[in-house]
């Protein structure tokens, strides 16, 4: 668990130090958008069906500039972290995100990727989810509104599980609010 926190802290420091060195590189050529938000951890009655863990997650995410245009939207690489404030399961994730932006400022997105976490793999405690393996599938959904060229707000949901590839597969859902900045 200490190693995971160190990696998460390093990723967070990198995330913010990149913003501090914006004069040294063309941020738009690397990053398309960055987001930060607060998510309800292990939200009850969603895809996973029930809740065992508690607290809030602080979520950081970066969408990168390279894109592939398809179905009117764009697929971009994404990396992020959700750090649980109660000491329950935190995760780092990476994957691809498809986003479609309507002319009125509304946007929707869906993705697929992988996540690594510091939670339990087997049922060791009634207060922790049994996630089955340390590497999980990561499926995010997002709907939001772009206020102008740079700023947006969105409702964000994500689900992690092993898709029943391991004996334990309780899954974990988060749901919350994020603010984004597009370069």
- pLDDT tens, position by position, 158-178: 999 999 999 899 999 999 999
Mean pLDDT along residues 112-138: 92
Residue percentage of the chain with pLDDT more than 90? 77
Q: What pLDDT sits at residue 112?
A: 98
With a cut of 50, say whether residue 6 has pLDDT above it.
no
What per-residue confidence (pLDDT) applies to 78?
Answer: 98
Percentage, residues of the chain above pLDDT 70: 86
DSSP secondary structure letters along the chain = -HHHHHHHHHHHHHHHHHHHTTTTS-HHHHEEEEEEEEEEET-TTSTT------SEEEEEEEEES--EEETTEEEEEEEEEEEETTSS--EEEEEEEEEEE-TTSEEEEEEEEEEEESS-SS---TTS---SSSEEEEEEEEEEEE-SSSEEEEEEEEEEE-TTSSS----EEEEEEEEEEE-
CATH: 3.40.50.720, 1.10.10.10, 2.40.160.20, 3.40.190.10. Which one for 2-182?
Answer: 2.40.160.20
Query: What pLDDT sits at residue 10?
Result: 46
pLDDT tens profile 15-74? 444 444 445 567 778 999 999 999 999 999 999 889 899 999 999 999 999 999 999 999
**Domain chopping of the chain, boundaries:** 2-182
Q: What is the pLDDT of residue 23?
A: 54
CA distance 74 to 100: 7
């Amino acid at each position: 668990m200490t190693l995971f926190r160190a990696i998460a802290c390093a990723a967070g420091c990198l995330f913010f130090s990149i913003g501090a060195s914006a004069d040294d590189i063309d941020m738009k050529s690397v990053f398309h958008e960055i987001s930060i938000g607060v998510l309800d951890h292990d939200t009850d009655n969603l895809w996973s069906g029930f809740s065992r863990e508690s607290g809030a997650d602080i979520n950081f995410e970066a969408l990168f500039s390279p894109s592939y245009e398809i179905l009117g939207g764009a697929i971009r690489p994404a990396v992020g972290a959700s750090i649980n404030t109660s000491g329950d399961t935190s995760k780092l994730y990476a994957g691809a995100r498809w986003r479609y932006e309507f002319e009125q400022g509304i946007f929707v997105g869906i993705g697929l990727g992988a996540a690594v976490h510091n939670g339990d793999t087997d049922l060791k405690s009634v207060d922790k989810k049994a996630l089955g393996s340390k590497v999980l599938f990561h499926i995010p959904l997002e709907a939001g509104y772009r206020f102008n060229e740079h700023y947006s707000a969105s409702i964000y949901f994500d689900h992690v599980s092993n898709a029943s590839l391991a004996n334990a597969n309780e899954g974990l859902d988060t749901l919350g609010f994020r603010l984004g900045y597009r370069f």
